[in-house]
């Protein structure tokens, strides 16, 4: 029998399995905003990096703050150019997409593993039922690919072997095996629900970040156009 090795992990480790190489929710999102311009002070850039992130969800993923007024937001952060703001938002967007991709892979892993673990649990329950009825289980034993032999299983033995992963198999009594597999199915199902929740949360943050970047670019275009018009009017008045 096989069961999902991931289901023995704690929720924090299991939701972000790929975080072994690079933490997803905390250190990635807390990295400083890019300093593409030397005109802004380090303090302003630090305030900017903190200002674009809002409250965190239960797994520690920060939300994206909606930039309602670009001028007000930049004044509050103490930045004068849009380059560091856009750079910080683009970096944040990339991290959201990275997390989204990682969670999608984890979701597919759980969707494959949970049914297998459930089948193992169903088999253990079937063995318990046969033992209680005093019957022998008739089955077909897989000798090799497409080669099977009829076999009779003495259910009164009362033990079953379960793969724990990493080439480790452990023998359990029926009741302990049932308890373990039930716990693993419940834990994996809960973590799959958490992943779905995080993916929904991430999609909202991606959309918010995309809207913020578009609004800032449009604001800068309008500002430059207004400055050009004001300069032209001033030149005409000077004549």
- Average pLDDT of 2-12? 40
User: Where do the structural domains in the chain lie, given as residue ranges?
Assistant: 5-133+175-238
The pTM for the full model equals 0.73
What is the band of 39 on the pLDDT scale with cuts at 50, 70, 90? low
pLDDT of res. 94: 96
For the cut 80, the answer to whether the pLDDT of residue 237 exceeds it is no
Q: What is the 3-state secondary structure (H, E, C) of the chain?
A: CECCHHHHCCHHHHHCHHHHCCCCCCCCCCCCCCCCCCCCCHHHHHHHHHHCEEEECCCCCEEECCCCCHHHHHHHHCCCCHHHHHHHHHHHHHHHHHHHHHHHHHHHHHHHHHHHHHHHHHHHHHHHHHHHHCCCEEEEEEEECCEEEEEEECHHHCEEEEEEECCEEEEEEHHHHHHHHHHHHHHHHHHHHHHHHHHHHHHHHHHHHHHHHHHHHHHHHHHHHHHHHHHHHHHHHHC
When mean pLDDT is compared across 10-24, 115-129, 145-159, 195-209, the lowest value belongs to 10-24
Residue closest to 209 by CA, chosen among 86, 123, 105, 113: 86
The 10 Å Cβ neighbour count of residue 124 is 23
Tell me which range, 6-10, 206-210, 217-221, is most confidently predicted by mean pLDDT.
206-210
Give CA–CA dist 194/202, Å, rounded: 12
Q: Residue 128 has which token pair?
A: 């318990």
From first CA to last CA, the distance across the chain in angstroms is 90
What pLDDT is stored for residue 79 in this prediction? 82
* Mean pLDDT (whole number) for 155-162: 89
Q: What is the spatial distance between Cα 95 and Cα 33, in angstroms, rounded to a whole number?
A: 12
Mean pLDDT in residue range 123-139: 90
């Amino acid at each position: 029998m096989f069961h999902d090795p991931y289901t023995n992990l704690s929720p924090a480790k299991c939701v972000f399995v790929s975080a072994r190489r690079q933490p997803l929710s905390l250190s990635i999102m807390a990295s400083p905003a890019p300093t593409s311009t030397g005109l802004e002070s380090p303090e302003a850039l630090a305030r900017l990096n903190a200002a674009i992130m809002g409250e965190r969800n239960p797994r520690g993923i920060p939300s994206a703050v909606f930039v309602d007024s670009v001028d007000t937001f930049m004044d509050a952060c103490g930045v004068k150019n849009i380059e560091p703001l856009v750079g910080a938002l683009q970096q944040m967007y990339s991290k959201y997409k990275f997390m989204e991709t990682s969670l999608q892979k984890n979701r597919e892993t759980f969707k494959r593993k949970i049914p297998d673990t459930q089948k193992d649990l169903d088999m253990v329950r079937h063995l318990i039922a046969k033992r209680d009825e005093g019957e022998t289980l008739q089955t077909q034993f897989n000798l090799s690919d497409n080669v099977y032999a009829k076999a009779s299983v003495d259910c009164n033995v009362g033990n079953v072997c379960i793969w724990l992963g990493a080439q480790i198999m452990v023998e359990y009594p029926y009741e302990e095996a049932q308890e373990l597999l039930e716990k693993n199915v419940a834990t994996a199902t809960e973590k799959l629900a958490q992943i779905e929740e995080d993916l929904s949360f991430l999609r909202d943050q991606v959309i918010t970040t995309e809207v913020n970047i578009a609004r800032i670019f449009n604001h800068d275009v309008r500002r430059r156009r207004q400055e050009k018009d004001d300069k032209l009017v001033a030149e005409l008045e000077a004549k």
